[in-house]
Structure 1
Amino acid sequence: MQPLPPDVPHADPKPLYASRTKIHPRRISGSFRKLKDVMLWGFLALYHLSPWLPWDRGANKPDQAILFDISGKRIYLFNLEIWPHDIYMLTGIMIIAAVGLFMSAALIGRAWCGFACFQTIWTDLFMKVEAFIEGDRNARIRLDHAKRGAKHAIWLMISAFFALSFLWYFGDAANQTRELFSGEIGGWSLVTFLTLMAMTYLMAGFAREQVCFYMCPYGRFQGVMFDEHSKVVTYESWRGESRGKPGKNRDFENRGHCVDCSLCVQVCPTGIDIRDGQQMECIGCALCIDACNDVMEKFGLPKNLISYDSAHNIALRSGAKKVGTLSKFWRPRTFIYGFILLATLGVTSYALHTRDLLEVNIMKDRAPFYVTLSSGQIQNAYTLSILNKSNQTRHYSIDVNATNQPSFQLIGQDDNHIRLESGKVTSLRLLVRGEMPKDAYGTLPLEITLRDPRHHPIKVEETVFNGPK
């Protein structure tokens, strides 16, 4: 390797680990701040109130619309019941969520991070508590090393409420609350409660933007999903530079519109300067737009020096691109995302509406395979395990069909009618008797059919009828 020539400066070595500089965002008002507040309170209400939505689940189940029943191995979502056998539906839901996130990134950048991510929502809520108790940015900086017991007490209460709300999704909400306050809660419920409480307190109270920087992978690869038509928070440098403090006469004729007030940095929850260009740390909350628009209005300058727009549109406004049209919603990237999203949604919906609510497992006795009766007929024995995955008790009849026209008997029952309880497995012993045709070579196909009260076939399962060769 050749050494650098003397006139080439060596880059200053950067430390491998950088200490965190605590960020104290400044309060701001504006359209994006109002939108964040709507999303904040809306998602919090959705999260905390959803477990209390009533839904009749019958006996021995909490009457909740949304319930993750660990002991019963089921997920209840209103009228939908998801069993372990239906895990493919959860896969479809995850694909829909992922592609939806990719599509939103291609259209509106990291708006999910800035407005809907739960890390952002809880951090924003904790910051509101912090500002209410300690004051705005400058006051919090002065109190940075003071004891603030009231703030941490409220943070812990919010964290506890979040953890309790999480438990509501996994059992009777009222009973979970009673057990917590009476001290009867224990086992995994207590471990889950304490873990979530501690994680919420630490992540929203202390880690904050560090979660976005280092723990969340989305910020690392989100640039791959952007193109020049993706709407992101952008500083219009062509209009803002050269920046500088305004003079007494406030003349902006021969200079940029940026007055270098640093308000865009002060309100940023991740502490970046958007004027340095698009950065991985930007979560797209757009609070810097509200701050900058306030300043532009005070100086009588056009708003949106910092805007939520695409690089393509900004290039058109700046004159960097002489010809072209404004960014469009539908383009190859969004078309592909939209197609995948609709296709996955369609396949998942079809699978949901056509899934089998009756599961039948047939286990044939193997010791012995068959028994020769005194009448000369061959008898085979089977164990039927029938799972009724619907939310209602069902009544069916059983038929057995084969080329030898066998007779059959359900052990312990007077006829071939069965009653299947909702969500339960019914086990039946079935004896099938018949002649074995000489050309069957010891094996005969056998069909076991379940019919509804109108004698319509609901489920047909195939097995074999064995006899001597």
Structure 2
Amino acid sequence: MSSKLIADKDVIFQAPVDDGKIYIREETGKYQRIRRYLNVILVLLFILLPFIQYHGQQAILFDVGEQTLTLFSIKLFPQDLIIFGLLFMLSAFALFFVSVRYGRVWCGFTCPQTVWSLLFNWVERRIEGTHNQSRALDKAPWRPEKIIKKSAKHALWLAISLITALTFMSYFVPLRQLYSDFFTLSSSALVMGWVMTLAVCTYLNAGWMREKMCQHMCPYSRFQSAMFDASTKVVTYDATRGENRGPRKRGQAVANLGDCVDCKLCVQVCPAGIDIRDGLQYECINCGLCVDACNKVMDKFGYAKELIGFRGEKAASSRGIGQWLYGVASVVMLAGIVLWATTWQSFEVGVIRDRQSLYRINNDGMVENTYTLTLLNKSSYTKTFDLTVAGLEGATLSEAGTFTVEPGEKRNFVLTLTVDDEPEAKVSNFDFIFEVKQSKEVVTHESMFYSG
């Protein structure tokens, strides 16, 4: 058994509670509002993005079978994977940069584990009542009221988990097909297996494991302290001002006591169940809930706020070289992404000569070379390409020079290039260029013409 303190009007008194399961007390305040608004936006984006249509098709879709990623009018293929590398590196360096400056704010405000865990806790509070009522319900014998509440809670948890799994899969399977097949029980075993696996993982992680996932399985919590420096802003308890701690009535001056009234609300609202007054701990996710709870208590007792707050040991001017390096690396990665975006072509061209025969003479005595032209349309609409030859006088194409390729399609065209020449009198090879034009985009490919 341990003890927690509960504020009741003018008096702070103790109430015994059991150790083990963490019953998160709901809190309101500045940081809780920021998190909730941000979480609502992120969850809505997560759910609604697959519903966006572009030219009659899903605007964002990662087709594993075809190994393509559709982003509105762009279709990325495996050869475009450099952009994913740049994006992942940008995300990593940006995360490190933010961590050095503000600690684990990613974990506390935007991490899916935190978002879904607090969402499940919100559902629990709506059905079972306050954290104390929820604790009492767990201790109570199994009666109809308890069975109904527990069943309703877990049913909603499972429903949210299933919606989460289906939403996640809709980024990989066309949304209309996914929902139609799933609810008519005609999904493939692979898709059904993934949906069920993701739903179970969401239910267990957010409903049962919660803080244990952050404490024991998340690698970020283990190495985050290596990125901190003296100016990193983390949730910190001002021991100089708060100690000695102790309960008191409002307006009552107690000798030899600091501002901390030892209400333990900072512990009750903590998703990780830690006491921030014990110092910096790797379990702390910088969610700021303890800051909101403490500031309310300070207001009630007429004390200054920020007894618990975001602060660093030194001023921001003392930032170490690590912050600047992470910032520079993020800028470099961003510049790389911009460069890739400005040079990216919506189609690719490949030309291969017929290697079985260097050249041949046709019935008209003209020299012919055969080539295979490969066109890959990386857009979401049909493209028409114009092919011309530069640097080779008198060259004639066997085809009309206009080719149509469907979106996401890769097509091969066999071309014959003819040049009026006298091979018996002259032996020579010519370098020339194929020019493929589509709208304002032009792609060139060098090749060689053999005449002897």
Contact 1:107 1:334 in 2 (8 A): yes
Q: Which residue of 2 aligns with 1:277?
A: 279
Change (3 A) 1:457 1:109: closer
Task: Go from structure 1 to structure 2 and tell me whether the alpha carbon gap of 1:134 and 1:367 turns closer, same or farther (over 3 Å shift).
Answer: same
Structure 2 vs 1, CA of residues 416 and 28 (structure 1 numbering), >3 Å: closer, same or farther?
closer
Query: Is this contact kept in 1: 2:431–2:446, CA < 8 A?
Result: yes
Q: 1:210 to 1:248 in 2, by over 3 A?
A: closer
The answer for the alignment partner of 2:9 in structure 1 is none
1:99 aligned onto 2:93: yes
Change (3 A) 1:49 1:394: closer
2:434 maps to which residue?
448
Residue 119 (structure 2) pairs with residue 134 (structure 1): no
Shift of 1:82: 2.2
Distance 2:222 2:216 in 1: 9
* Separation in 1, partners of 2:302, 2:225: 35
1:248/1:221 Cα in 2 relative to 1: closer, same or farther (>3 Å)?
A: closer
Shift in Å at residue 203 of structure 1? 0.6
| CA distances 1:153-196 after superposition (whole Å, capped 9, x unpaired) | 11101101111111222344234222222222223221221111
TM-score by length of 1: 0.83
One-letter code aligned to 2:270:
C
Distance 1:158 1:451, change over 3 A: closer
TM-score by length of structure 2 reads 0.86
Read off the aligned partner of 1:407 and give its amino acid letter. Answer: A
What residue is the counterpart of 2:169 in the other structure? 167
Question: Structure 2 counterpart of 1:447, which letter?
Answer: I
Q: Distance in 2 between matches of 1:264 and 1:451?
A: 65
Q: Distance in 2 between matches of 1:440 and 1:303?
A: 93
Does the aligned pair in 2 maintain the 1:388–1:421 contact within 8 Å? yes
- Contact 2:274–2:283 at 8 Å: present in 1 too? yes
Larger relative contact order (CA 8 Å, sep ≥ 6) = 2
Contact 2:229-2:319 at 8 Å conserved across structures: no
Q: Over residues 392-451 of structure 1, what are the superposed CA-to-partner deviations in whole Å (9 max), with x where a residue is unaligned?
A: 433333223455x353333xx4x2232333322232111123448799976442322224
Give the corresponding residue for 1:315.
Answer: none
Q: Does 1:408 find its partner at 2:396?
A: yes
Q: Find 2:349's aligned residue among 339, 347, 360.
A: 360
Distance 1:92 1:399, change over 3 A: same
Q: Which moved more, 1:373-382 or 1:257-266?
A: 373-382
Distance 1:376 1:175 in 2: 58
Matched with 1:335 is 324
Paired with 1:191 and 1:225, the residues of 2 have a C-alpha distance of: 39
Contact 2:50 2:171 in 1 (8 A): yes
| Distance of 2:436 and 2:249 partners within structure 1 | 88
After TM superposition, list the pairs within 5 Å mapping 1:114-125 onto structure 2. 114-125=108-119
- Following the alignment from structure 1 to structure 2, what is the Cα–Cα distance between the partners of residues 119 and 209? 9
SS in 2 for 1:143: helix
| Contact 2:250/2:300 (<8 A) preserved | no
Cα distance in 2 for partners of 1:451, 1:40 equals: 46
Matches of residues 10-49 of structure 1 in structure 2 within 5 Å?
Answer: 21-49=20-48
Is the Cα–Cα contact under 8 Å of residues 406 and 432 in structure 1 kept in the other structure? no
Q: Conserved in 2, the CA contact under 8 Å of 1:400 and 1:446? A: yes
Question: Taking structure 1 as reference, are residues 373 and 275 closer, same or farther at Cα in structure 2, changes over 3 Å only?
Answer: same
Question: Higher strand share goes to which structure?
Answer: 2
- Structure 1 pair 170/440, CA: closer, same or farther in 2 (3 Å)? farther
More deviation, 114-123/368-377: 368-377
Unaligned runs of 5+ in 2: 1-18
Match of 1:460 among 427, 439, 444: 444
Q: Distance in 1 between matches of 2:319 and 2:229?
A: 13
| Matched pairs, number | 425
**Deviations for 1:34-61, whole angstroms, at most 9, x for unmatched residues?**
222222322221111122223225xxxx
Q: CA, structure 1 residues 421+186, in 2 after alignment: closer, same or farther (shift >3 Å)? A: closer
Instruction: Give the alignment partner of residue 429 of structure 1, picking from 414, 434, 442.
Output: 414
Matched, 1:220 2:215: no
Pairs within 5 Å for 1:22-421:
22-57=21-56, 62=57, 64-144=58-138, 148-246=150-248, 250-312=252-314, 326-328=315-317, 332-373=321-362, 377-402=366-391, 405=393, 407-410=395-398, 413=399, 415-421=400-406
What is the aligned-residue identity percentage? Answer: 35
Residue 452 of structure 1, CA deviation: 5.0
- Report if the CA contact (8 A) 1:449-1:457 is conserved: no
**1:104–1:439 Cα change, 3 Å:** farther
Cα distance in 1, alignment partners of residues 44 and 235 from structure 2: 28
CA contact (8 A) 1:408 1:433 kept: yes
Question: In the alignment, which residue of structure 1 is the partner of 2:12?
Answer: none
Structure 1: tracts of 5 or more residues without a match: 1-19, 313-325
Look up the SS of the partner of 2:291 in the other structure.
helix
Deviations 1:6-61 (A, max 9, x none): xxxxxxxxxxxxxx93211112222222222222322221111122223225xxxx
User: Matched residues in 1 for 2:119 and 2:429: separation?
Assistant: 70
Which digits, 9 at most, give the CA deviation of each residue in 1:125-173, with x for residues without a partner? 1111111222222222223365522211111011011111112223442
Contact 1:25/1:268 (<8 A) preserved: yes
The answer to whether the 8 A contact 1:114-1:283 is kept is yes
Matched to 1:385, the amino acid is T
Q: Residue 436 of structure 1 contacts residue 442 of structure 1 at CA under 8 Å; is this kept in 2? A: no
How far apart, in 2, do the equivalents of 1:217 and 1:98 lie? Answer: 14
- Alignment partners' CA distance in 2, 1:422 and 1:292: 58
Residues 1:110 and 1:205: Cα distance change in structure 2 (over 3 Å): same
Query: 1:24 and 1:228 mapped to 2: Cα distance?
Result: 33
Query: Does the CA-based 8 Å contact 1:369-1:466 persist in structure 2?
Result: yes
Question: What secondary structure sits across from 2:408 in the alignment?
Answer: coil
Alpha-carbon offset, residue 239 of structure 1 = 0.6
